[in-house]
Each structure stands twice: as C-alpha cells, then as structure tokens.
Amino acid sequence: MNRFAKLCSVIALFVLLPLVFAGHDYGQALSKSILFFEAQRSGFLPSTQRVQWRANSGLNDGKASGVDLVGGYYDAGDNVKFGLPMAFTITMMSWSIVEYGRQMAGSGELGNAMDAVKWGTDYLIKAHPQPYVLYGEVGDGNTDHYCWQRPEDMTTSRQAYMIDPTNPGSDLAGETAAAMAAASLVFRQSNPSYANELLTHAQQLFEFADKYRGKYDSSITVARPYYQSVSGYADELLWAAVWLYKATTNEYYLSYLGDNGDALGGTGWSMTEFGWDVKYAGVQTLVAKLLMGGETGHYAPIFENYQQKAEFFMCSCLGKGSQNVQKTPGGLIFRQRWNNMQFVTSASFLLAVYSDYLTSAGKNLICNSGSVAPSELLSFAQSQVDYILGDNPRATSYMVGYGSNYPRQVHHRASSIVSIKVDPSFVTCRGGYATWFSSKAGDPNILTGAIVGGPDAYDNFADERENYEQTEPTTYNNAPLLGLLARLNGGHSGYNQLLPDSSPSPIAIEQKMTTSWNANGKTYYRYFTVLTNKSGKTLKGLKLSIAKLYGPLWGLTKSGDSYFFPEWLGSLPAGKSLEFVYIQSASQADISVSSYDMV
C-alpha cells in the first residue's frame, strides 16, 4: 500500500472515532492545569503573570556561587528548586505539546503552555553554564522544611549544588538533555534560534551524562531524602537519546538506542510505573512509535523488544496483562500512598498517546487476554482523568479550583499564607507554622489547577494541610495532564500521530507569488504574505526574522535585523490576519517567528 493510501485509511479510522468527549469540561480543566505553573514560578515574575497573589522570589539564587540561577519552578509545596523533577516536568509538558499542540491551539491555550515550558527552559539554560557543569538544586529540603514561609519571605538556605566530571550525575544530566531536546521541538517553528540553542545544550548534556557516568544523588547528596534516583541513570541515558533522535533525526542517537537497548535495560525491564525516577516505559513507548513509523533502520528486531515492553505496560494498566497494576475500589491506578497521582497522570498520558499511535498504524494492542482496540486505551485514560475531576466515591475533585468540592487545605506554603500583596508583614520561619500551617481555615489563595497527591488505596482522602502525602501538589503531577486534557477536549481531527514531530505554532504564515515581470535582464517576483493568529487570544509583541530577503518589503516595521507589526497595528486579535508584500529577483524569503505574546 502506498503512503497516500495508508494515510487515507488512517483518516478513515479516525472518522469512526468520537472526536470530543462529553461529561467534564476538559477545556476548563486544561486552562486551570496550565495556570498552576504560574503559581510555582520562582524569580522575577513577568507583566503577563496571571496568578496575582504571587510576587518575585529567589532573586539572589546562584549569586553566592557566581552564577545566575534566578527563575525556574518550585517543585511542590516547598520553596526548593530540585533539578531532576523540574527537568522531567519540562520534558512531559513538551511531549504534551508535541503530541497535542494542535488541540491546545484550538482552545487558545498553546501560547500559555509554551510559556510554561519556556519558563523552565530559560532556567535550565542558566543552570548549564559550561558543557560539563550543571546546577541541579537550589536550596535544600532540610532547612526549607523546617520553615513555613511564603517564597517571597524565605530566609532558608539558597545554596546551589552542581554536578561536573568529578561529581557526575548522569540521571540529572540525561533528564535535562531530554527536556531541552523535547522543548526544541516545541519551539522549532515559532522560535528557531531558541530551539537551536536548546538543542546545543541538550547535545552537550547528553555527552556529559554518557561520558561521566554516575548517580546524581551521590554528588548532590542533599537531594537523596527527597528525590533519590532509585532506578539509576541507565533509563535517563536512553530517554535523552530518544528525544535527541526525535529532535535531530541524527542516526547516532538511533544507533545509541539500538546498540545500548539491552545493556541499559530498555529491552529488558517490564515496567508498571512511569515517573520522574523511572523512565523506561516512556522510552519504550517512544521507540515503539519509531518502529510503527518505520524509523528503525536495521534495528527493527531490537526495537520490537522495546515495543513488547511498552505493550506490557499498557496491558498492565488495563488489567489485561500478566502483572497488573493495583487499582482502588473506585478504579484509580494505585501505586503508593504518598502522591499517588503522579503515577496516574503519567500512565494515563502514555495510554492516550499509545492509543493514537496504534490507531495511526491501524493496529490493536495484543495482551494476554487477547486483542485490545486502541479506543479502549483512550477510554481507560479518560476514566482516570474523570476520577481526578470528581467521578469517584467521594465525589471530590483532586484538581484545586475545578468543580465545587476540591481540597481547601493544600500542603503548599504560598497558597496557605496570605499574599504578600494583601499583607506585607514578614512571615517568620517558625511563625508560619504557628499562624498558617496549623490553621484549620481554607487556603487564603486558591492554587488553581493543582493536582494534589490524592486518595489512598481505598479511595479515602483527608483534606488536611499536615497530610502532605495526600494534599501536596507537584509540577510533575500536572505536566502529563496537559496533553491528556488537550486530547480529551479537542479530539483527534484525523492527524497521523506517526508522522515526524513538529509542534504547531499558533501563528500561521502563508506565502505565494502573485506576479512576475522582466526588467533589465532580470525576472522580478511579487510575493504576497498572510500572517494569521490561529490562537484564541490576542497576539502582541510579534517579532519576525526574515532571511534571504533581497528587495523592498511593505507592511511591516523594521528595527535592526527584525520585523514587527506596522506602526498602526499594536496587536492582532484571535483569528485575524496581517498581510504584507515584498519584491525580489529570487525565490521566496525564509520568514519565521522569533517571539510573541498571547494575552
């Protein structure tokens, strides 16, 4: 069957599937889940900050070490910046956009999701000042947990910890490489220079991780009580390699996956969990995608072993495998009492993308119990999301601010203490415990969109601030949910999920040659260009880069080497277009978006 016929058959399959799910407002949940990341921001907050009860914090981070480490995300309800979970968060947000950015654009949230990724990658760039140096933590859990303070007030240690060739951390460097490679796909169209910068960092970090091997928590020992790398670094090396192959199509990374699949466990480990520590299921899912898309070279037999392990994971989640995951009586995936939701959202995301990969390939999942249609994987992922949003024995929404019955005493310093903008009185280290932590009142600031740790093995949940195992949120709980909610809200639209990755831009640029003429022995062409705001928001601060432009241009304002809106146009509303023309005796110019804001 030729490529066109295959594509047509795939589209026909999608037509048979329901495009949009009913029941919960997945679009609202998506918007709220992205908003949560603005509450987790560290550093100088931008003028576009929507979570207004937060203010600047951590403005001297890195200063004592002679490096600028201002920015990034606090991982959870504390004020520490842990590099490993932060990088995993960024990888999963980026994967969400790579797979389901079209659906995000349709709901007007793509710009916000990309902003959330960039807030993280801007920090990771700072944290990687030299090829073989990476800062992996600012602050430490011991001193931080002794205090209960707003980020804006914190008096705890802000010491920075790094890895280098003498003190390696292949898991940390590998995950950070994966994050930057995945994020480069997000920005490839809209900000190619930034995407290239991320890719350079990713390649350097992968080389560092592979050349100087070791566990990061043996070098940054203060991280061990909080984010111990139990699985080691082999999974992160494969994880980084698969993302670098997707970002570069460089055969070196494909060969790395093929040559090291057995030695590093990619073809050997049968997993029933996926998260910030253990990446094997994610690696196996992505390699299976490469296999189904025909991107295997002579490694097909090895990649089939990766796929077998990916399908072991899927079957286990569905309860149709040889070793199935535990579920609560209400049907929620359950692995552990402490922040169980991290495993629920990550597993559900993998089920959703694998469902779409199978549909694109025209295949079913084969489990011990028999053949499983791709739609069954997606339905199970949806059931997990619906449980999170309130379809559970307690009728509780585990997303703060969604529905009417959600956690009101979240284990989160900034949320539980009155905003510094409302009461600027200094909150002392221990005074915060006495006044705010121990309060039985609801949080003064609603941590909108946060996914808390969730219920126990029997669907029980205690909404109490001191119950950190169940009421503390984390960034990596939310990150996989971005893509999953976008998929459930926007449907699929018949897109072949096995095609090369290319995150969509909310800005479309179309060029066409409208006329030509000869003069003085040369042929001149008039190019008509239409720039359209495809998002649901207003486009402002547009900056264009135009290469291979050799003639005059009308309809834009030039400043330096960049082009901006014409003086009479300050913004471009949702769905509207801007037109401009240029003339030259050459083929069309290369026009790309350097930066923009969506408001």
Q: Express each pLDDT in 321-361 by its tens digit.
A: 999 999 999 999 999 999 999 999 999 999 999 999 999 99
State the residue for tokens 């594509």: 7
- Is residue 558 classed as helix, strand or coil in its secondary structure? strand
Q: How far is it, in rounded angstroms, from Cα 455 to Cα 361?
A: 37
Q: How many helices and strands, by DSSP H and E, does the chain display? A: 18, 16
pLDDT at 19 over 50: no
pLDDT at 7: 35
State the residue for tokens 């006329």: 515
- Proportion of the chain above pLDDT 70, given as a percent: 94
Contact 548, 527 (CB under 8 A): no
Contact 565, 572 (CB under 8 A): yes
Contact 381, 329 (CB under 8 A): no
pLDDT at 599 over 90: no
Contact 552, 581 (CB under 8 A): no
Contact 412, 77 (CB under 8 A): yes
Contact 477, 385 (CB under 8 A): no
- How deeply is 12 buried, as exposed, middle or buried, from its count of CB atoms within 10 A (0-12, 13-18, 19+)? exposed
pLDDT at 552: 95
- Is residue 82 classed as helix, strand or coil in its secondary structure? strand
Q: How far is it, in rounded angstroms, from Cα 134 to Cα 165?
A: 10
Q: How far is it, in rounded angstroms, from Cα 487 to Cα 95?
A: 12
Mean pLDDT of 64-88: 98
Residues 57-68 have pLDDT tens digits of: 999 999 999 999
Q: How far is it, in rounded angstroms, from Cα 388 to Cα 382?
A: 10
Q: How far is it, in rounded angstroms, from Cα 11 to Cα 256?
A: 33
How many Cα atoms occupy the beta-carbon half-sphere of 214 within 13 Å?
A: 15
pLDDT at 16 over 60: no
Give the model's confidence band at 595: pLDDT under 50 very low, under 70 low, under 90 confident, else very high.
Answer: low
pLDDT at 197 over 50: yes
Measure Cα distances from 113 to 98, 430, 481, 496 in Å.
Answer: 11, 36, 12, 22
pLDDT at 505 over 80: no
Lowest pLDDT segment from 60-69, 485-494, 497-506: 497-506
pLDDT at 238 over 60: yes
Mean pLDDT of 510-532: 91
Give the model's confidence band at 541: pLDDT under 50 very low, under 70 low, under 90 confident, else very high.
Answer: confident
pLDDT at 506 over 80: no
- The tokens for 105 are 């654009």
pLDDT at 292 over 80: yes
Please report the DSSP string for 14-54 in residue order: HHTS-SS--SS-HHHHHHHHHHHHHHTB-BSPPTT---TT-
- Is residue 354 classed as helix, strand or coil in its secondary structure? helix
Contact 176, 208 (CB under 8 A): no
How many Cα atoms occupy the beta-carbon half-sphere of 487 within 13 Å?
A: 30
Active site residues: 78, 411, 463, 472
- How deeply is 365 buried, as exposed, middle or buried, from its count of CB atoms within 10 A (0-12, 13-18, 19+)? buried
Supply the DSSP symbol for 221. G
Average pLDDT, the chain: 92
Q: How far is it, in rounded angstroms, from Cα 44 to Cα 50?
A: 14
Q: How far is it, in rounded angstroms, from Cα 452 to Cα 246?
A: 32
Q: How far is it, in rounded angstroms, from Cα 177 to Cα 184?
A: 11
pLDDT at 15: 33
**Residues 176, 82, 112: CA angle, nearest 5 degrees:** 70
**Residues 92, 97, 101: CA angle, nearest 5 degrees:** 160
Contact 209, 237 (CB under 8 A): yes
Contact 33, 483 (CB under 8 A): no
HEC sequence for 502-545: CCCCCEEEEEEEEEEEEECCEEEEEEEEEEEECCCCCEEEEEEE
> What is the separation, in whole angstroms, between the first and last Cα of the chain?
46
pLDDT at 504: 61
Give the model's confidence band at 6: pLDDT under 50 very low, under 70 low, under 90 confident, else very high.
Answer: very low
Mean pLDDT of 117-131: 98
- The tokens for 465 are 């601030």
pLDDT at 378: 97
pLDDT at 594: 63
pLDDT at 543: 83
- The tokens for 247 are 């970002």
pLDDT at 94 over 50: yes
Mean pLDDT of 424-449: 97
Residues 557-579 have pLDDT tens digits of: 998 878 999 999 999 998 899 99
